[in-house]
């Protein structure tokens, strides 16, 4: 019975605390990640665009609810909620917002918003610390903002964090201002607006210095804060405190650092390690430089002495912010600076190098991040389990480290292929996973004094990498002293060691013991060997505790420094007065004449050439600001050293040329291609004449040369003039104003001509005189259609007086209208005469009697179905 009740309790409480409330992230420029599978998968449906602050909340099962950058609240359909605009947060605050679910409710969420530096500038007094309420029962379950911008503090900082209280059900929300911490309690009755105030630490009273993050440890026992000091000069403070989850009191300050412009803060899931990001400060200029990420071991008696540099990242952008650190439900810590990828600390529970930092390792699907990531309630990431042995085939050991008394546990290792071994009720079980990959391990814990809670661990099982041993790395000695000592780029050995190094971390060590302990790693670039033939040890791993070790022998060979050589190059720049762009193939072709069969690479500096760093690809650019026009080259045969030298380029102009387009008319069989006047020519078919004759449309490429040995390429595009599939000429004649219309269904560059006159774009000719006419259609000056037609008409009068002029009436050009039937009427509609096209015209009589002067009417019926009506005058003189 007890087991049944326990199972029901676990199911109920597991829903309340599913540990997937932080499964979805939205941040940066429309970037997003979904962690539900245990690995980050890009989400491309977000609409949030922020420089720093952001927050997202999901259900305990990992379904997105809403997200914000501190100003707007978007629902799961990525629409702004009703009343969800103009919150008092800011996209430019370090931690602009934090969402807290009201205990005991699945519908009410508090959105806390922090202050921001910009709110104080230009005489502003700040936004302060505020909260708004989202009710998810409204808008059909999409949520509304019901209360907005309820002020708690009139002024504040950009810092905010949240953690579960000691009872395991309620929450503390903590912010900071000047030298005071404010802890607000949230329980099932709502928010207590009266904070617990702890006055401790430095007084940050200049609004310019309120930047930087603050985090609680996932177990709630400690609090870390970063002060990014901008004024009056760049400096920073990184501080650690104790936090009492029963009382909300902050105490026991420890100063961990003042040497960086500290910004990002994060704890490992087991709360044993603390990380910070900060910008280094140039001692001469006072400006910020590289980004450092450092680790402190909180289990070490000498916490200050445990400081370890995890990463030293060159500053790739103009900013004094070091980027946020944020833990995810996969228990890895992610670092964000402007890029299309996030960096990651893959095993942050482990010390020093075993923490496994990887630069720009997490893909965002083409979206970009900035300086911020969503902060979340830190308790979402709490881990009470120590896990050991991550190699395939080893028994993975799970050890619970919680201090609170435990009644019972239930493990699900997420490995159904292991059958009955997939679950366990042991306090500290082991499990042999059936294959490599990421497993979702679920632990339900029934406490004596706390609510039952579910914990999720994503366990990555790896296979020990296969590493080639006995690799030799050959370097050149160019300092003029044949002592077998040189500088190495140890990464040059990676391809031979592991083939494809992606997905692996590789560290080099002086001794085997250092490699086994993963400590005292050698610099990968610029390492100077101690003697020729020195063996260094390489540790390769996919996860930090499943590794392989191999030896790399460092061989130094004498190498001549070839000195300076002048080589001709052609300037490919579109702006040759201000810059020169040279194709490296120009240099390579000339060097291959001196060193046949050599492998040639090019570099900006001599050190880069020695260490094979930053090779130049395709082109090199010189500007008017360059004090030295030089390129360094490296010559190798079979990966052995030969020469390093410097090229002093003789840069010459290329011919000025433009691509050409020519049309070939339908009636033309060929066209002559002429690129213009140059010193020499080389067509793609091998001809070297100035002109060639072609008969087919298409692109024709010719290299044209000037008198100094430089060439440029001209493409002559021969375009076939289009011909319409059908052309109809429609004549409306026997009118007072005759018209001709040329009908073409396709759109095109058509122009129209009548009787050899001017070309026109309109396809209709008006006021056309009767008689023979010629209609023509042109496209791009090509005649594509021509037709001769007759336009019908009739005289307006006749004078049957026998003088030989206008003695009879007939339509003009009657013989051109065979089959025409013409009827003549008097004013009363009486038919006076029927005429055929081949008959003589009407003489003005009816049955031999002359008709009087008057107006008469005619009707013409043509064989093509056209009919025409009109009138004329009979005049007797």
Identify the bridge partners of residue 661 per DSSP, sorted by sequence position.
Answer: 717
**DSSP SS3 for 587:** helix
Tens digits of per-residue pLDDT, 362-374? Answer: 999 999 999 999 9
695, with CB counted inside 10 A (0-12, 13-18, 19+), is exposed
Residues 369 and 342: their CA atoms lie apart, in Å, by 7
Rounded to the nearest 10°, the torsion over CA 639, 640, 642, 644 is 60
What's the Cα-to-Cα distance from 225 to each of 17, 447, 472, rounded to whole Å?
Answer: 27, 31, 47
**DSSP SS3 for 657:** coil
Q: Do domains 2-381 and 471-558 have the same CATH topology?
A: no
Tell me what pLDDT residue 18 has: 53
The enclosing H or E element of 13 equals helix 2-16
Q: Which class is domain 2-381?
A: mainly beta
**Residue carrying structure tokens 């496209």:** 779
- Which residue, among 432, 436, 402, 403, has the nearest Cα to 420 in the 3D structure? 432
From the candidate CATH numbers 3.40.50.150, 3.40.640.10, 2.60.40.10, 3.90.420.10, the one assigned to the domain spanning 727-791: 2.60.40.10
> E strands within 465-614?
471-477, 487-489, 505-509, 525-528, 534-543, 546-558, 560-571, 579-583, 599-603
Residues 665 and 667: their CA atoms lie apart, in Å, by 5
Q: What's the farthest any 2 CA atoms get from each other in the chain? A: 141
Indicate if the pLDDT at residue 390 is higher than 50. Answer: yes
DSSP assignment, residue 495? Answer: H
Tell me what pLDDT residue 255 has: 97
Residues 127 and 662: their CA atoms lie apart, in Å, by 66
Tell me what pLDDT residue 721 has: 85
What is the DSSP track for 103-172?
TT-SSEEEEEE---GGGTGGG-----EEEEEEETTSGGGT-EEEEEEEEEESS--S-EEEEE-TTSSSEE
The overall pTM is greater than 0.75: no
Indicate if the pLDDT at residue 668 is higher than 90. Answer: no
**Of the ranges 303-312, 484-493, 781-790, the best mean pLDDT one:** 303-312
- Which residue, among 82, 45, 47, 87, has the nearest Cα to 70 in the 3D structure? 87
Tens digits of per-residue pLDDT, 7-52? Answer: 333 333 333 345 799 999 999 999 999 999 889 999 999 999 999 9
88 close to 69: Cβ distance less than 8 angstroms: no
Tell me what pLDDT residue 371 has: 95
Return the domain boundaries, the chain. Answer: 2-381, 385-461, 471-558, 560-653, 660-720, 727-791, 797-874
Confidence band for 480, pLDDT divided at 50, 70 and 90: low
Residues 421 and 433: their CA atoms lie apart, in Å, by 10
Residues 113 and 131: their CA atoms lie apart, in Å, by 6
- Which residue, among 683, 769, 685, 698, has the nearest Cα to 734 in the 3D structure? 769
From the candidate CATH numbers 1.10.3470, 2.20.25, 1.10.260, 2.60.40, the one assigned to the domain spanning 471-558: 2.60.40
SS (H, E, C) 402-467: CCCCEEEEEEECCCHHHHHHHEECCCCCEECCCCCEEEEEEEEEEECCCCCEEEEEEEEEECCCCC
User: Pairing relation of β-strands 797-798 and 867-874?
Assistant: parallel
Residues 33 and 362: their CA atoms lie apart, in Å, by 10
On the CB side of 716, CA atoms within 13 Å amount to: 24
At 114, list the tokens. 């922090």
Residues 47 and 791: their CA atoms lie apart, in Å, by 67
Tens digits of per-residue pLDDT, 771-795? Answer: 888 999 998 888 989 998 888 888 9
- Which residue, among 290, 299, 295, has the nearest Cα to 325 in the 3D structure? 295
Phi, psi at 464, each rounded to 5°: -55, 130
Tens digits of per-residue pLDDT, 612-661? Answer: 888 999 888 887 677 778 999 988 887 777 778 899 988 888 888 889 98
Tens digits of per-residue pLDDT, 697-737? Answer: 999 999 998 877 788 899 999 988 888 889 999 988 888 88
At 865, list the tokens. 């179905």
Residues 864 and 728: their CA atoms lie apart, in Å, by 14
DSSP assignment, residue 368? Answer: B
Strands of the sheet containing 261-267, edge to edge, are 261-267, 273-281, 288-297, 308-313
Residues 826 and 239: their CA atoms lie apart, in Å, by 116
Q: Stretch 152-173: mean pLDDT, rounded?
A: 95
Residues 335 and 79: their CA atoms lie apart, in Å, by 28
Confidence band for 749, pLDDT divided at 50, 70 and 90: confident
**DSSP SS3 for 609:** helix
Kindly report the length of the chain: 877
At 492, list the tokens. 């040059």
641 close to 601: Cβ distance less than 8 angstroms: no
Tens digits of per-residue pLDDT, 325-352? Answer: 999 999 999 999 999 999 999 999 999 9
Q: How many helices (H) and strands (E) does the chain have?
A: 5, 64
- Looking at domain 797-874, does it have CATH number 2.60.40? yes
Tens digits of per-residue pLDDT, 132-149? Answer: 999 999 999 999 999 999
Distance of CA 335 to the CA centre of its chain: 18
Tell me what pLDDT residue 328 has: 95
Residues 84 and 47: their CA atoms lie apart, in Å, by 14
Q: Stretch 800-812: mean pLDDT, rounded?
A: 88
Residues 871 and 735: their CA atoms lie apart, in Å, by 11
Identify the bridge partners of residue 57 per DSSP, sorted by sequence position.
Answer: 66
Give the homologous superfamily in CATH for domain 385-461.
Immunoglobulins (2.60.40.10)
Long-range Cβ contact pairs of 762-766 (< 8 A, separation 24 or more): 764/739, 764/740, 765/739, 765/740, 765/741, 766/737, 766/738, 766/739
Residues 671 and 682: their CA atoms lie apart, in Å, by 18
Give the mean pLDDT of the chain: 90
Residues 585 and 567: their CA atoms lie apart, in Å, by 12
Residues 17 and 8: their CA atoms lie apart, in Å, by 14
Identify the bridge partners of residue 229 per DSSP, sorted by sequence position.
Answer: 235
Tell me what pLDDT residue 7 has: 32
Tell me what pLDDT residue 11 has: 34
Tell me what pLDDT residue 4 has: 31
Q: Stretch 389-396: mean pLDDT, rounded?
A: 90
Tell me what pLDDT residue 569 has: 85
422-426, 499-503, 842-846, 871-875: the lowest-pLDDT one: 499-503
- Which residue, among 134, 81, 91, has the nearest Cα to 114 in the 3D structure? 91
877, with CB counted inside 10 A (0-12, 13-18, 19+), is exposed
First to last CA, the chain: 134
Tens digits of per-residue pLDDT, 449-478? Answer: 888 888 888 898 888 888 888 888 888 777
Tens digits of per-residue pLDDT, 242-295? Answer: 999 999 999 999 999 999 999 999 999 999 999 999 999 999 999 999 999 999
**DSSP SS3 for 764:** strand
Residues 635 and 648: their CA atoms lie apart, in Å, by 16
Tell me what pLDDT residue 5 has: 30
Q: Stretch 554-563: mean pLDDT, rounded?
A: 80
């Amino acid at each position: 019975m007890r087991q049944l009740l326990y199972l029901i309790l676990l199911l109920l409480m597991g829903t309340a605390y599913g540990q997937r409330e932080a499964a979805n992230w939205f941040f940066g420029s429309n970037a997003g990640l979904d962690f539900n599978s245990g690995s980050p998968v890009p989400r491309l449906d977000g609409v949030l665009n922020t420089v720093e602050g952001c927050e997202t909340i999901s259900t305990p099962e990992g379904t997105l609810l809403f997200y914000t950058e501190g100003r707007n609240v978007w629902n799961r359909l990525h629409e702004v909620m009703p009343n969800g605009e103009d919150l008092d947060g800011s996209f430019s605050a370090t931690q602009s917002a934090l969402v807290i679910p009201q205990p005991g409710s699945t519908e009410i969420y508090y959105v806390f918003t922090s202050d921001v530096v910009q709110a104080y500038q230009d005489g502003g007094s700040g936004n302060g610390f505020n909260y708004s309420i989202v009710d998810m029962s409204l808008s059909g379950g999409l949520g509304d903002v019901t209360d907005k911008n309820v002020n708690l503090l009139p002024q504040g900082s950009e810092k905010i964090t949240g953690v579960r209280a000691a009872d395991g059900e309620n929450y503390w929300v903590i912010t900071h201002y000047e030298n005071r911490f404010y802890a607000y309690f949230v329980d099932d009755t709502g928010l207590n607006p009266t904070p617990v105030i702890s006055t401790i630490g430095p007084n940050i009273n200049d609004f310019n210095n309120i930047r930087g993050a603050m985090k609680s440890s996932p177990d709630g026992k400690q609090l870390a804060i970063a002060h990014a000091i901008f004024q009056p000069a760049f400096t920073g403070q990184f501080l650690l405190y104790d936090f009492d989850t029963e009382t909300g009191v902050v105490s026991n300050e420890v100063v961990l650092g003042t040497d960086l412009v500290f910004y990002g803060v994060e704890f490992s899931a087991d709360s044993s390690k603390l990380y910070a990001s900060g910008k280094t400060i140039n001692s001469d200029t006072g400006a910020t430089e590289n980004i450092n990420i450092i680790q402190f071991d909180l289990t070490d008696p000498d916490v200050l002495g445990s400081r370890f540099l995890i990463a030293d990242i060159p500053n790739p952008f103009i900013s004094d912010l070091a980027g946020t650190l944020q833990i995810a439900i996969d228990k890895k810590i992610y670092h964000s600076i402007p890029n299309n990828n996030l960096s990651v600390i893959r095993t942050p529970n482990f010390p020093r190098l075993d923490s496994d930092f990887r630069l720009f390792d997490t893909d965002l699907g083409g979206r970009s991040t900035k300086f911020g990531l969503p902060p979340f309630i830190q308790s979402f990431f709490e881990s009470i389990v120590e896990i050991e042995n991550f190699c395939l085939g080893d028994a993975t050991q799970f050890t619970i480290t919680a201090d609170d008394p435990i009644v019972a546990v239930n493990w699900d290792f997420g490995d159904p292929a292991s059958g009955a071994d997939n679950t366990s009720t042991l306090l500290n079980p082991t499990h042999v996973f059936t294959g490599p990959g990421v497993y979702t391990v679920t632990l339900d814990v029934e406490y004596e004094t706390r609510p039952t809670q579910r914990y999720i661990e994503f366990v990555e099982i790896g296979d020990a990498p296969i590493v080639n041993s006995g690799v030799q790395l050959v370097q050149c000695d160019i300092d003029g002293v044949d002592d077998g000592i040189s500088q190495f780029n140890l990464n040059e050995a990676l391809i031979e060691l592991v083939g494809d190094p992606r997905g692996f971390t590789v560290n080099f060590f002086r001794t085997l013991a250092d490699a086994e302990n993963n400590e005292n790693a050698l610099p990968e670039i610029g390492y100077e060997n101690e003697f020729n033939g020195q063996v260094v040890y390489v540790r390769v791993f996919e996860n930090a505790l499943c590794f392989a070790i191999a030896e790399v022998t460092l061989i130094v060979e004498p190498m001549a420094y070839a000195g300076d050589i002048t080589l001709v190059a052609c300037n490919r720049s579109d702006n040759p007065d201000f810059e020169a762009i040279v194709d490296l193939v120009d240099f390579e072709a000339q060097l291959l004449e001196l060193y046949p069969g050599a492998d040639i690479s090019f570099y900006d500096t001599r050190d880069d050439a020695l260490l094979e760093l930053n090779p130049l690809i395709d082109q090199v650019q010189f500007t008017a600001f360059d004090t030295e026009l030089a390129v360094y080259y490296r010559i190798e045969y079979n990966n052995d050293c030969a020469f390093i030298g410097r090229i002093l380029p003789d840069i010459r102009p290329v011919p000025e040329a433009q691509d050409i387009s020519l049309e070939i008319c339908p009636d033309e069989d060929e066209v002559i291609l002429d690129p213009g006047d140059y010193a020499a020519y080389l067509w793609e078919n091998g001809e070297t004449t100035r002109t060639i004759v072609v008969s087919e449309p298409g692109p024709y490429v010719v290299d044209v040369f000037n008198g100094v040995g430089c060439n440029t390429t001209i493409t002559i595009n021969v375009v076939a003039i289009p011909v319409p599939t059908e052309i109809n000429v429609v004549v409306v004649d026997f009118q007072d104003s005759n018209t001709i219309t040329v009908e073409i269904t396709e759109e095109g560059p058509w122009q129209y001509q009548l009787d050899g006159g001017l070309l026109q774009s309109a396809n209709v000719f008006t006021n056309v005189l009767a008689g023979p006419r010629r209609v023509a259609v042109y496209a791009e000056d090509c005649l594509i259609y021509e037709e001769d037609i007759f336009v019908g008409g009739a005289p307006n009068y006749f004078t049957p007086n026998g003088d030989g002029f206008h003695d009879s009436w007939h339509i003009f050009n009657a013989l051109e209208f065979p089959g025409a039937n013409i009827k003549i009427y008097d004013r009363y509609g009486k038919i006076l005469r029927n005429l055929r096209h081949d008959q003589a015209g009407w003489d003005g009589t009816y049955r031999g009697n002359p008709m009087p002067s008057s107006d008469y009417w005619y009707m013409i019926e043509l064989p093509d179905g056209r009919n025409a009506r009109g009138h004329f005058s009979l005049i007797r003189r």
